[in-house]
Structure 1
Amino acid sequence: MSIFLVISLFAGFLLSNQSPINVDLRRYAGSPFLSGLISFVVGTIFLAVMTLVTTGSLVPSLHFIVTQPWWIWLGGLLGAIYLTSNILLFPRLGALQTVILPILGQILMGMVIDSFGLFGSPKIIFTLMRASGILILLVGVLIAIVLPNLRKKPNVEKDKERLVGWQIWGVLIGMMGATQQAINGHLGVLLKNSSEASFISFLVGTVLILFVALLVDRRLPSWKKLRQAKPWNFLGGILGSLFVLATVIAVPHIGAGLTVVMGLIGQILGSMLVQQFGWWKSPKYQIVAVQIVGVLVMLLGVVFIKFL
């Protein structure tokens, strides 16, 4: 059981590096939608190769497609929204807030999914200890994100009001992220192949974000500009695909809620390192002690949820 906790934790760490990579890729792609499209294409190709190697085929039978519920194919849509939103949020809120704000939505939605067994997830009884763990997690979030910003005084009140909208959107996409993980996890169970489920999710997301990019930008990325990008600029799609693959593996074993929580802690730890060292050309922000305390409190919440 503990191996799936570690898988989820490491998956979150990988995902925390995806946002700054895709943000830098935007300089060559020209827009967040085109940057997201490139990331999805790279991830789809990576998962396609993995699926072909492990199964010898890419897509399930027509009978499987028409007999499954319509919502089973929504993972890719939610993933496309989540990825594109992260590209928009990152330069406005910074690495840590871009990760932490969706936690509120993800924790809430993950526990709701577990409590009612939604989207084919294993049903987990909502106990007093589980509720206490959620409250402790939320306290950890507040410590990590609110306390460090109490010292910061916005120069213009209007700027503060503008950020609130982005922060609210961060919570909403968190709810979408938790739903995506549950859906993809159930798809993996139905297909009996995690890589194929991840590939389908990415393929759907690629098609949808291609449509949006053509609608909004009315063009495809310039090959001339993309040739100027560094090789690591294209790693975002691979990291994102590995995250999806890890959650597909973990959800059926430990539930959507705990998969979400461990992934989030991995994202927070990763984002703290990203902002501390300025990885992937992201702005550097000094980590303060209270942020570390917040993460430790969140880990205590995990203990209450899982082990007590």
Structure 2
Amino acid sequence: MSIHLIGLALLMGAIISIYLPMITQTARILGSGPMANVPFFAIALASSIAIAVATGSRAEQFQKIGTLPLWLLTAGVMSAGMIIGSSYLIPKIGIGAFFVLLVSGQVLAGMVFGYFGMFGVPASALTWGKVLGALLVITGVYLVTFR
């Protein structure tokens, strides 16, 4: 894995740690987690369309949107749930505990999805190193969340 890919993934993690609290602030100002999603998704949609158009001719890809299986579109529902959930949880459990739990859920689910080859990811064996890593993640959750 190249260093620039690792750097990009770290940057994306840092961006998540910025934008979720921003959505939480939006929910606080508007008085509603679901309403905080409205401007967020409107700007995300406009930005996505602008980036897609700016990076090349996309008429064929835009036409294919209607052919997507409905189950793939549930990712939008999951995204809305993530935003609403973060605007509810961050003020209640704190940002540190929230992110430790969030990343831990990703690591553990990623191990399961990888092992079974779910959602189009290549199957990968469960190794003692991965199990030890998962146990360390769970230990970290305990230390950060319950002190």
Aligned to 2:116: 116
The Cα of 1:65 is off from its aligned counterpart by: 4.2
Once the two structures are superposed, the pairs formed by residues 92-111 of structure 1 within 5 Å of their partners are: 92-111=92-111
Q: Which runs of 4+ in 1 moved over 3 A?
A: none
Provide the C-alpha distance between the structure 1 equivalents of 2:105 and 2:97, rounded to a whole number of angstroms.
Answer: 13
Aligned to 2:62: 60
Residue 93 of structure 2 aligns to a residue whose secondary structure is: helix
Provide the C-alpha distance between the structure 2 equivalents of 1:26 and 1:103, rounded to a whole number of angstroms.
Answer: 22
Aligned to 1:128: 128
The Cα of 1:126 is off from its aligned counterpart by: 1.1
The CA deviation string for residues 233-270 of structure 1, in whole angstroms up to 9 with x for no partner, is xxxxxxxxxxxxxxxxxxxxxxxxxxxxxxxxxxxxxx
The CA deviation string for residues 135-165 of structure 1, in whole angstroms up to 9 with x for no partner, is 1222222222222xxxxxxxxxxxxxxxxxx
Provide the C-alpha distance between the structure 1 equivalents of 2:49 and 2:62, rounded to a whole number of angstroms.
Answer: 13
Aligned to 2:76: 76
Aligned to 1:181: none
Letter of the 1:120 counterpart: G
Aligned to 2:18: 17
The CA deviation string for residues 116-141 of structure 1, in whole angstroms up to 9 with x for no partner, is 11111122111112211211222222
The CA deviation string for residues 7-50 of structure 1, in whole angstroms up to 9 with x for no partner, is 22211111111122122223443311111211111122112111
Provide the C-alpha distance between the structure 2 equivalents of 1:125 and 1:60, rounded to a whole number of angstroms.
Answer: 37
Letter of the 2:102 counterpart: P
Provide the C-alpha distance between the structure 2 equivalents of 1:27 and 1:128, rounded to a whole number of angstroms.
Answer: 44
- Which consecutive unaligned segments of at least 5 residues does structure 1 have? 148-308
Stretch of structure 1 that moved more, 78-87 or 31-40: 31-40
- Contact 2:104–2:137 (CA under 8 A) maintained in structure 1: no
Aligned to 1:139: 139
Provide the C-alpha distance between the structure 2 equivalents of 1:57 and 1:28, rounded to a whole number of angstroms.
Answer: 37
Note the aligned Cα RMSD (angstroms): 2.1
Provide the C-alpha distance between the structure 2 equivalents of 1:83 and 1:29, rounded to a whole number of angstroms.
Answer: 14
- Which consecutive unaligned segments of at least 5 residues does structure 2 have? none
Residue 125 of structure 1 aligns to a residue whose secondary structure is: coil
Letter of the 1:23 counterpart: T
Higher relative contact order (CA 8 A, sep 6+): 1
Identity %: 24
The Cα of 1:103 is off from its aligned counterpart by: 3.3
Provide the C-alpha distance between the structure 2 equivalents of 1:103 and 1:90, rounded to a whole number of angstroms.
Answer: 14
The Cα of 1:101 is off from its aligned counterpart by: 2.2
Number of corresponding residues? 145
- Contact 2:23–2:83 (CA under 8 A) maintained in structure 1: no
The CA deviation string for residues 43-75 of structure 1, in whole angstroms up to 9 with x for no partner, is 22112111110133275334x743x54422222
Provide the C-alpha distance between the structure 1 equivalents of 2:71 and 2:31, rounded to a whole number of angstroms.
Answer: 32
Letter of the 2:121 counterpart: S
Residue 123 of structure 1 aligns to a residue whose secondary structure is: coil
Provide the C-alpha distance between the structure 2 equivalents of 1:5 and 1:132, rounded to a whole number of angstroms.
Answer: 22
The Cα of 1:82 is off from its aligned counterpart by: 0.6
